[in-house]
Each structure stands twice: as structure tokens, then as C-alpha cells.
Structure 1
Amino acid sequence: MNLMLSRLSDMSQKESRLIIGLMSGTSLDGLDLALCKIKGSGFNTSMELMQFESVPYPSAFIEDIRSVFSKRLVDLEKLTLLNAHIADIHAEIILACLEKWNIPPSEIDCIASHGQTIYHAPKRLHQQKYYPNATLQIGDGDHISVKTGIITLSDFRQKHIAAGGEGAPLALYGDVILFSSSTENRVLLNIGGIANFTFLPSDKSHARIISTDAGPGNTLIDALANKYFDVPYDDNGKFARGGKVDENLLKILLSHPFFTQDYPKTTGPELFNLLYFNEAVKAAKAESLSSPDLLATTTEFTARAISKALNEISSLPFTLYLSGGGSRNSYLVERLQQLLPDSAVMLTEALGINPDAKEAILFALLANETLCGSAIDTGAGPVTTMGKISLPI
């Protein structure tokens, strides 16, 4: 048997596995690395976060990615080059973190790499009759595996689509494994570039579990903060706090058909971007609004879209647990609490999970299921395992 295939077999039989989960989201701010010690599989999984690092990307690297990100027309050579380049950069970050943590690569069982989303195209968005749901993440797993010497699982979203899903949200599987409760209804809300959540009823009824995108998260807030205030994000919503919400503009922003489509559903910056926002401003005749007013209205757009979705998916009381960059925006969190007065709103830290690390942890869990678990039936998504396996040699 091939030595690496033998290692895979041995890994599946181990009492526990050390897996590095990687996540780089649509905010393009950097790479999150979660070193997880995972025992068991499926609903018998236990996970311990051993190390976590969030490594910011250099501005030149971000601009490189932006040159092909969420665009219908791109330089094909640049896209091809970035597929390898992103993987090489991620591999360098992994090795640097392992050195910092004083852990030799040989002790890591595998890497679970989400890759960098470049374009998300569910059929509900592209509307082309003869084409299926599609999504593209680059940062090739073979490059990461060879450069680090560590078995790598990647490209998780393709299997989800092949099995009948839209490629997102994949948080469903980790949320069900780690956060199901028999004592409270829970919503796990991740506010990244796009906001997505999983509703977990306390009766654990598979028929009532829902995992879906709600609409924009930080994507428009960050874009306006950069455009009008020359900062990468609105720290604690300080600029939005200084503005006033324009209800007419807000109404137009919320009028897109996405918000009336059935759940579950997915979206991305391909829809909710500056072009969408600028067209709404023009339709609302709101060109004279101040920069703080525009940012206040955009932040309210995110809060209203999330609260609207949560109110529609459940009439039951629930506790809302937040993760992702938007969970650090205190103004946005305050608005969510005000719009959801019957719900307790807190960070996933209350459940023992670092809210910044949650998405990276998820991919470590998905890799663990592929290696030694089975297809998880959540009742709310395709019953499948995910991740292509790349061997170092």
C-alpha cells in the first residue's frame, strides 16, 4: 500500500487527531488557523482548540485577490497564477505558526483548507437554465500538502454542490455536532462578509433545523468604511453611530427578491456589493446623505436582514450565539439585540468556542468526518462527507 494511504488508514483509527483548520473568508482580511485536537466522529465528536492564530494579509496580497474576486470578467492568467500563489502563501503561514507553537509538522495529522472564495454562483443568482449551482475557491490543496509535508483536505464546497446543495453554508454540520442542545433553542449566527446562521431546536427535530444565508454581513459595511473613511472596517460601528438611518434607502436595499425567496438560500458579494448599494442610493435619491448616514443605513440593512430571517424561521424563543468579525461590531450587536428583544444575544465564547476561530474549527471537523466518520444526516443539508484529499508525495 502507498505509504500515504497507509497513514490515512492509521489516522482514522487513532484515539485523537491533530487537525489544522484554515479559513479565509470574503472579507479578505487574512487567514485564520485553528489547531484542533479531535476525538471520535459524528455526534460522538469532542474538540479541543489547542492553538489559534489570525494572520492578516499584506495589502498587496489583498489587492492581488481583489483583482479576481467576485468579478464576472477576470484575467484568466492571473486567476490561474493565484490558485497556486494563495496556496503557497497559506503553506508559508502554516509553517510559520507551527514554528511559533513549537510543533513539528510531522505531529499534525492533516490540514483542512477552505481556500479563498473567488466567486459564488448559486442558480438563484445566475439564473441560467442549463447550468447548476456553482462556487469557486482557489488555493490548491496539492501545493499546501507538498510544501508543508502534511496531508491536506480542501475544496469542501464542491461535494456539497455535487450532492444537491448550494455549496453553503457549511457551518450546519459543525453547528449540529458541537452545539445541539436539549435545554434551549439555539441560533448560531456567523457575521462574516455574508451573514449565515443555523437554527437548532431543542427537540433536535431534523425537520426543523435550518441553515441559511440571511444576506450581507460585513461586506457592505467594510466597503463603505473603506470608501468614505479610508479604514478597512467600522471599528465598533463608531462611524455608523454618528449617522442617521435613511428609511427610504433602507427600504430599497431590502427590496431585492433574495429576501422573499424560500429558505435555505445562499448569496455573496456578487450580489451585495457597492454597485448594488449605489443603485439603491440612486433609486432613493439619497446622493446628498452624509457618509455617517450612509454607513448607519448600511449597518441597519445588515441588522434588519438578519432579524427578518430569524423571525421568519422560528416563532420559538431562542438564544443567539454570534461569531465572525461582525460579532466584534458592538453597534451592530446592539441593533440585533434591539430588533430581537425576546432573545439573549451573546458570543460563542459562552459555549466555549472562540468566535474568531469558529469557522476554521468547522473545517477541521469536516475533515475529521471525511477521514474517520460518516455522512452526517442533519435533515437540513446533503448527507455527505466533504473535502478532496491531497497527499504530500
Structure 2
Amino acid sequence: MNSAIQKLYDITQKPNRIIIGLMSGTSLDGLDIALCQINGSGKTTEVELKNFETISYDPKFKKRLKSITSVPKASMEEVCLLHSRLGNYHGKLILEALEKWGIDSTQIDCIASHGQTIYHAPKSQHNQPDMPNATLQIGDGDHVAHKTGILTVSDFRQKHTAAGGEGAPMAAFVDQMLFTHDTKERILLNIGGIANFTYLPPHTSDKKSITTDTGPGNTLIDNAVQKYFDEDFDKDGRIAKQGSVDPTVLKALKSDPYFQKSLPKTTGPEIFNLNWIEKQLSKMGITDLPSDNLVATLTQLSAETIAEAIQKVNLQNIQTAIYVSGGGLHNPILIEWIDELLPNCTIRNFEEIGFDPDAKEAVIFAILANEMLAEEGFLINTDSEKKVNFGKISFPD
């Protein structure tokens, strides 16, 4: 037997595994690296976050990534080069993190690499009936594996689209498995560039879980702040706080058909970006909206569309706890406005029921890799009742 396959088999038989989860989101801020110990699999899964770090991308590299991310046209040469370059780069960052933590790479069973999404194109977005749901991540798993010498599982979203899903959000599978309460409803809200949540009815309920994107989370706010204030993001919601929400502009932004679509749905910065903002304002003939008012209005847009999507699944206004993760958790104005819009819910930090909220998505992919190695997979709520697993396996050599 090929020795690599024998090693893979041995890993699948272990009662627990040490897995590194990687996540780089639509903000392109850097790479989240989560070192996890995962005991068991399936419903018996227990996860312990041993170490976590976010390593910022080099500004020049970030600029190159932006040039091919969420744009309808890009250089094929640049896509090809960055697919390999990002894999090598992520491998390098993993080795640096392990050295910092004093951990030898031989102690790691597997790397779970999400990669960098450069384009997300579900049918609901591309509107081509003869084409499937599609999504594309770069950061080649073979390069990660070869660079680190560690078995790597990557490209998780492709099986989801192949089986009829839209390739997002992926967190729901783990949310349902680990965080469903016996008697209480929960909502797990992640506010990244795009906001999404998982509604979790209790074990005792006959209601169904639902996971969905809601629309922009941080992405439009970041776009505006970067253009008009030359800052990466609105730290502590300072700019939104000093501005005023323009109700006319807010109404125009919310008229986008995406917000009227039924749940579940997905989207991305391919739709919600700086051009989208400018197009919506142009339709109204607005050219002189003060920059701080724009940031405040975009923050309110995120708050209202998140709250309205949550209200669609919480029709009875049950006192429900909303556990928040993602970068938006650190914007107190955004969180305050969501809280005001959902008086029958309580906003809480995801850490109360899990672990570091900034690490949540990286840990999610570590658990998905663990399931690939040790379990039967997940139902993805399409017409098929067949379980599927996510990820492709790359051997180090």
C-alpha cells in the first residue's frame, strides 16, 4: 500500500485528531489559523481550540488578491499564479505559527484549508438556467501540503455545489451538530464581509434549521471607509457614530431585489461593492452625501437587513439568544443598532457557548475536515437524501 494512504487510514482511525483550520474571508485582511484538538466525530464531536492567530497579509499581496477577487473579468495568468502562490504563502504562515507556538509539524494530523474565495456565482445570481451553482476558491491544497509536509483537505465548497447547494454558508452543518440546545431556540450570527446566520430550533422542536446569508455585513462599510477615509475599517463604529443615517438613501439601498428574496439565499461582494453603492446613489441623483453620513447609512443597512432576515425565521418573536461572531462583533454601533431592531432577542458573544468568536470560521473548516476523515457526511437539504462530505485530500508528497 502507498505509505501516504496508509497514514491517511491511520489518521481516520484515531479517537482524536489535531487539525489546523484556515480561513481567509472576503475582507482579505489575512489568514486565520486555528489549532484544534477534535475528539470523536459526528454527534460525539468535541472541539478544543488550542491556539489561534490572525496573520495579516502583506499590503502588496493583498492588492494583487483584490485585483482578481469578486470582479467579472480578471487576468487568467494572475489567477493561475496566485492560486499556487497563495497555497505556498499559507503553508509558510502555518509553519511560522507552529514555530511560534513551539509545536512540531509532525504533531499535526491534517490542515483544513478553506482558501480564498475569488468569485461566488449561484444560479440566483448569474441567472443562466443552463449553468450550475458555482463558486471558486484559490490557494492550492497540494502546495499547502507540500510546503508544510502535512496532509491537507481543501476546496470544501465544490461538493456542496456539485450536490445542488450554492456553496455557502458552510457553517450550518457544524452549527447544527454542536450548538443546538435541548430546549431553547438559538441563532448563530456571523458578521463577516457578508452576514449570515443559522437558526437552530431546539432538539425538542419539530421546526427545521435554516441557514442563510442576509446581505452585506462589513463589506460596504469597509469599502466606503477605505475610499473616503483611507482606513481599513470603521474602528469601533466611530465614523458611523459621528454621521447621520439618511432615510431616503437607506430606502433606495434596501430596494435592491436581493433583500426581497425568500430565505435561504446567498450572495457576495460580486454584488455588494463600491460600484453597487455608487449605482444606487446615481439612480437618485445623489452626488453630495457627506462621507460620514454614507458610512452611518451603510451601517444601518447592514443592521436592518440582518434584523429583518432574522425576524423572518423568528415570526413569533420568541425571546431568542443571538450569538455573534465575525469582525462585525467588534463594531459596537452595528451591534447596538441590531439590538435595538430586535427587542425580543438578546445579543450575546459566541464565546459564551463556544470559543473565540474570531476563530469560529477557521474552526468550522477544521471540523468539516474531521468529518471528511471520520464520518459519513451531511445532508445538504436538497432533493437528495444522500449524505455528502466536503473537501479534497492532498498528500504532502
Fold similarity call, TM over 0.5: yes
Deviates more, 1:283-292 or 1:326-335: 283-292
Q: 2:390 aligns with which of 379, 386, 390?
A: 386
**Do the aligned residues in 2 keep the contact of 1:349 with 1:355 (CA within 8 Å)?**
yes
**Do the aligned residues in 1 keep the contact of 2:180 with 2:203 (CA within 8 Å)?**
no
Q: 2:357 aligns with which of 355, 358, 366?
A: 355
Cα distance in 2 for partners of 1:158, 1:376 equals 14
Q: Number of aligned pairs?
A: 393
Q: Secondary structure at the match of 1:166?
A: coil
Counterpart for residue 187 of structure 1: 187
The alpha carbon displacement at 1:377 in A equals: 3.5
What letter matches 2:255 in structure 1? S
> What RMSD over aligned residues (CA atoms) do the two structures have, in Å?
1.3
Cα distance in 2 for partners of 1:66, 1:90 equals 17
Q: Given the alignment of the two structures, is residue 128 of structure 1 paired with residue 128 of structure 2, yes or no?
A: yes
Counterpart for residue 106 of structure 2: 106
**Do the aligned residues in 2 keep the contact of 1:159 with 1:387 (CA within 8 Å)?**
yes
Extract structure 1 runs of 4+ deviating beyond 4 A: 204-207, 378-382
| Equivalent residue runs for 1:33-112 within 5 Å | 33-112=33-112
**Do the aligned residues in 2 keep the contact of 1:180 with 1:204 (CA within 8 Å)?**
no
Cα distance in 2 for partners of 1:41, 1:104 equals 24
The alpha carbon displacement at 1:284 in A equals: 2.8
Counterpart for residue 2 of structure 1: 2
Pick closer, same or farther for the CA change 1:205–1:392 going to 2, 3 Å. Answer: farther
What letter matches 2:388 in structure 1? T
Pick closer, same or farther for the CA change 1:51–1:64 going to 2, 3 Å. Answer: same
Q: Secondary structure at the match of 1:113?
A: strand
Counterpart for residue 158 of structure 1: 158
**Do the aligned residues in 2 keep the contact of 1:207 with 1:380 (CA within 8 Å)?**
no
Identity of aligned residues (%): 50
Cα distance in 2 for partners of 1:112, 1:226 equals 31
What letter matches 1:384 in structure 2? V
Counterpart for residue 282 of structure 1: 282
**Do the aligned residues in 2 keep the contact of 1:216 with 1:302 (CA within 8 Å)?**
yes
Q: 1:341 aligns with which of 339, 343, 364?
A: 343
Cα distance in 2 for partners of 1:144, 1:321 equals 32
The alpha carbon displacement at 1:282 in A equals: 1.6
Q: Secondary structure at the match of 1:371?
A: helix
Counterpart for residue 302 of structure 1: 302
Q: Secondary structure at the match of 1:168?
A: coil
Counterpart for residue 244 of structure 1: 244
Counterpart for residue 19 of structure 1: 19
Q: Secondary structure at the match of 1:268?
A: coil
**Do the aligned residues in 2 keep the contact of 1:240 with 1:293 (CA within 8 Å)?**
yes
**Do the aligned residues in 2 keep the contact of 1:196 with 1:212 (CA within 8 Å)?**
yes
Q: TM-score, normalised by structure 2?
A: 0.97
Counterpart for residue 366 of structure 1: 368
Write out per-residue CA displacement over residues 69-118 of structure 1, whole angstroms, 9 at most, x where no aligned residue.
11111111011000000111100000000001111111100000000000
Q: Given the alignment of the two structures, is residue 322 of structure 1 paired with residue 324 of structure 2, yes or no?
A: yes
**Do the aligned residues in 2 keep the contact of 1:211 with 1:380 (CA within 8 Å)?**
no
The alpha carbon displacement at 1:261 in A equals: 1.4
Write out per-residue CA displacement over residues 6-57 of structure 1, whole angstroms, 9 at most, x where no aligned residue.
1111111112100000000000000000000001111110000010011011
**Do the aligned residues in 2 keep the contact of 1:29 with 1:57 (CA within 8 Å)?**
yes
Q: TM-score, normalised by structure 1?
A: 0.98
Cα distance in 2 for partners of 1:206, 1:112 equals 33
Cα distance in 2 for partners of 1:215, 1:381 equals 26
**Do the aligned residues in 2 keep the contact of 1:42 with 1:376 (CA within 8 Å)?**
no
The alpha carbon displacement at 1:206 in A equals: 6.9
**Do the aligned residues in 2 keep the contact of 1:209 with 1:379 (CA within 8 Å)?**
no
**Do the aligned residues in 1 keep the contact of 2:165 with 2:382 (CA within 8 Å)?**
no
